Amino acid sequence: MVKLILRDKTWELPAGMTVRDAIKKAGLDPHAVLAMRDGKLINEETLTRPGDVITLISVISGG
Amino acid sequence: MSVRRGMRCRKCGAPAVINMPQHKLALCEEHYLEWVPARVGQTIKRFRMFRPEDKVLVAVSGGKDSLALWDILHRLGYAVEGLYIDLGIGGGYSAQSKEKVQAFAETRGGLPFRVVDVRETYGCSIPELAQRSRRGAKTCSLCGLVKRHIMNRIAYEGGFAAIATGHNLDDEAAVLMQNTLHWQAGYLGRQAPVLPSTHPHLARKVKPLCLMYEREMAAYSLVRGINYIYDECPYSVGAKTIFYKELLNQLEGRSPGAKLHFYLSFLKAKEEGTIRFMEEEEVQMQNCRRCGQPTTAGDLCAFCRLWERPEMAVCGPAEEFEA
Ligand SMILES: [Zn+2]
Ligand SMILES: [Zn+2]
């Protein structure tokens, strides 16, 4: 499984899909978040691996 | 099992940290950190925002865009100074954002910046001001009025050629969409990457990030290790802008580059005169007798009128006016 975290929300998803598909599965817009793994930014085509913890950063602000 | 090579940097072939379908470009960390300032530098030249010898004031809030802008202008070699306005917003928001600004400046060898504390200077924080305002004026519009006044004052006193703000493409496209849906001709006529100065006390305003996607700016801040305030101002929660940004992102998903095209084709149509907005009537401007900034109504500007009202007496006297 893969864990996706955005602020205080988490999702558990099967490994093997792209980061973009995982974001969509969580019901989020890939344009509105960035994904980090092991403290590094990763592009949305990256494949998720079992045990990954992916932190999502929201990019939209109100202003 | 299929082996995917993954997305690679166009310049060096290393794994890409960001993919930008809007530019048909994927880049690694190193090349992304080169690409962003280069693009901002081109934007500054393209719209003739300021010259290399100009003194520029950067309005910094502690958020990702303004800190990244400060970082980029500094990296490009411009003579920049930060301006942080302490609005006195509670819940730790103002305190934390100020800390981020201070820490940022320190870790970069002590970049110059000034702090204007609204409460110390004028006697009242923004929330206190909103609370005392008789007509229940919206906190955000009061805040905007106060910030504009302070930015103009500091730019005038410090002899700055321009004030740079961190508005990104998503900010601009969202405002453009909102104004178009309401056919706000006045606002549409004025929306531009550069707002020239029309009075000695009104600074030139420029938006060097106006062609940068908000996502690109967040990625730059992360890769560059800029520690910015992630939480929103408590008063902006649920702002309408977010709704328009989400709509535009849906459009972007269907057609990469849609946001950039929407904004750039608007600017081009205005420049070429295919769309035109009525010239604003030349209104008689007077100088405010307290601060010198221009006003169209009476002898006091909207900012100074705020502090004249009887219920504001507890706030005064403001040091700015003592001279
Ligand atoms: Zn590279
Ligand atoms: Zn005034």
In this structure, the dihedral spanned by the alpha carbons of residues B32, A61, B248 and B223, taken in order and rounded to 10 degrees, is 10
Per-residue pLDDT of chain B (323 residues; tens, 9 = 90+): 444 567 999 999 999 999 999 999 999 999 999 999 999 999 999 999 999 999 999 999 999 999 999 999 999 999 999 999 999 999 999 999 999 999 999 999 999 999 999 999 999 999 998 888 765 568 888 999 999 999 999 999 999 999 999 999 999 999 999 999 999 999 999 999 999 999 999 999 999 999 999 999 999 999 999 999 998 888 877 678 899 999 999 999 999 999 999 999 999 999 999 999 887 676 778 999 999 999 988 899 999 998 887 777 667 544 443 33
Are residues B242 and A62, on separate chains, in Cβ contact within 8 Å? yes
Tell me whether B6 touches chain A (CB under 8 Å).
yes
Residue B20 covered by a domain? no
HSE, CB side, 13 Å, CA atoms: give it for residue B158.
24
Contacts of A37 in chain B (CB under 8 A): none
At residue B238, the pLDDT reads: 67
Q: Are the C-beta atoms of residues B213 and B20 closer than 8 Å to each other?
A: yes
At residue B55, the pLDDT reads: 97
CA–CA distance, B71 with B223 (Å, rounded to integer):
13
| B113 φ, ψ (degrees, to nearest 5) | -155, 155
DSSP state of A47: B
Minimum-distance CB partner of A34 among B167, B215, B249: B215
Q: Are residues B321 and B208 in the same domain?
A: no
Q: Are residues B303 and B186 in the same domain?
A: no
User: Quick one: closest CA in B to A28, which residue?
Assistant: B246
Residue B195 covered by a domain? yes
Rounded (10°) angle between helices B240-254 and B169-181: 100
Residue from B224, B242, B251 whose CB has the most chain A CBs within 10 Å, to mutate: B242
Residue tagged 């955005």 (tokens)? A6
Q: Are residues B44 and B143 in the same domain?
A: yes
Q: Are residues B317 and B263 in the same domain?
A: no
Residue B299 covered by a domain? yes
At residue B277, the pLDDT reads: 87
Tell me whether B252 touches chain A (CB under 8 Å).
yes
CA–CA distance, B319 with B321 (Å, rounded to integer):
5
What are the CA-CA distances from residue B279 to residues A3, B36, B74, B107, B177 (Å)?
A: 55, 36, 37, 47, 21
Q: Are residues B270 and B323 in the same domain?
A: no
CA–CA distance, B289 with B283 (Å, rounded to integer):
18
For residue A61, the distance in angstroms to the closest alpha carbon of chain B comes to: 7
Residue B215 covered by a domain? yes
What are the CA-CA distances from residue B87 to residues A35, B130, B171, B183, B305 (Å)?
A: 32, 12, 21, 32, 19
Please give the angle made by the CA atoms of B138, B140 and B146, to the nearest 5 degrees.
105
Q: In this structure, what token pair is assigned to residue A54? A: 């992916």
Instruction: Give Cβ neighbours of residue B271 (< 8 Å, ≥ 6 apart).
Output: none
Q: Are residues B269 and B295 in the same domain?
A: no
pLDDT tens for each residue of A3-14: 999 999 999 999
Q: In this structure, what token pair is assigned to residue B124? A: 């009242």
Are residues B19 and A31, on separate chains, in Cβ contact within 8 Å? no
Q: What is the residue range of B117's domain?
A: 30-280
Tell me whether A39 touches chain B (CB under 8 Å).
no
| B203 φ, ψ (degrees, to nearest 5) | -75, 155
Q: Which residues pair with B25 in a beta bridge?
A: B20
At residue B296, the pLDDT reads: 86
Instruction: Give Cβ neighbours of residue B112 (< 8 Å, ≥ 6 apart).
Output: B81, B82, B105
What are the CA-CA distances from residue B171 to residues A61, A62, B178, B211, B215 (Å)?
A: 9, 9, 11, 10, 11
Q: Are residues B248 and B316 in the same domain?
A: no
Q: Are residues B300 and B158 in the same domain?
A: no
Residue B13 covered by a domain? no
Residue B25 covered by a domain? no
Minimum-distance CB partner of B17 among A30, A43, A57: A43
Question: Which ligand neighbours the alpha carbon of B304 most closely?
Answer: 2
Tell me whether A38 touches chain B (CB under 8 Å).
no
Q: What share of chain A is helix, strand, coil (3-state, %, to 5)?
A: 10, 40, 50
Total count of domains within chain B: 2
Q: Are residues B173 and B319 in the same domain?
A: no
Q: Are residues B179 and B214 in the same domain?
A: yes
Q: In this structure, what token pair is assigned to residue B155? A: 């730019």
CA–CA distance, B143 with B186 (Å, rounded to integer):
21
| ipTM for this prediction | 0.96
Kindly report the number of other CB atoms within 10 A of residue B157's CB atom: 9
Q: Are the C-beta atoms of residues B24 and A62 closer than 8 Å to each other?
A: no
Q: Are the C-beta atoms of residues B61 and B167 closer than 8 Å to each other?
A: no
Question: Which ligand neighbours the alpha carbon of B308 most closely?
Answer: 2
Q: Are residues B240 and B254 in the same domain?
A: yes
CA–CA distance, B34 with B40 (Å, rounded to integer):
11
Q: Are the C-beta atoms of residues B245 and B258 closer than 8 Å to each other?
A: no
Minimum-distance CB partner of A45 among B19, B219, B238: B19
Question: Of chain B residues 16-45, which have a CB less than 8 A from chain A?
Answer: 16-19, 26, 29
Which domains does chain A carry?
Answer: 2-58 (3.10.20.30)
Q: Is the pTM of this model over 0.80?
A: yes
Contacts of A36 in chain B (CB under 8 A): 222
Question: Which ligand neighbours the alpha carbon of B297 most closely?
Answer: 2
Q: Are residues B57 and B152 in the same domain?
A: yes
Question: Which ligand neighbours the alpha carbon of B149 most closely?
Answer: 2
User: Quick one: closest CA in A to B165, which residue?
Assistant: A63
User: Quick one: closest CA in B to A46, which residue?
Assistant: B6
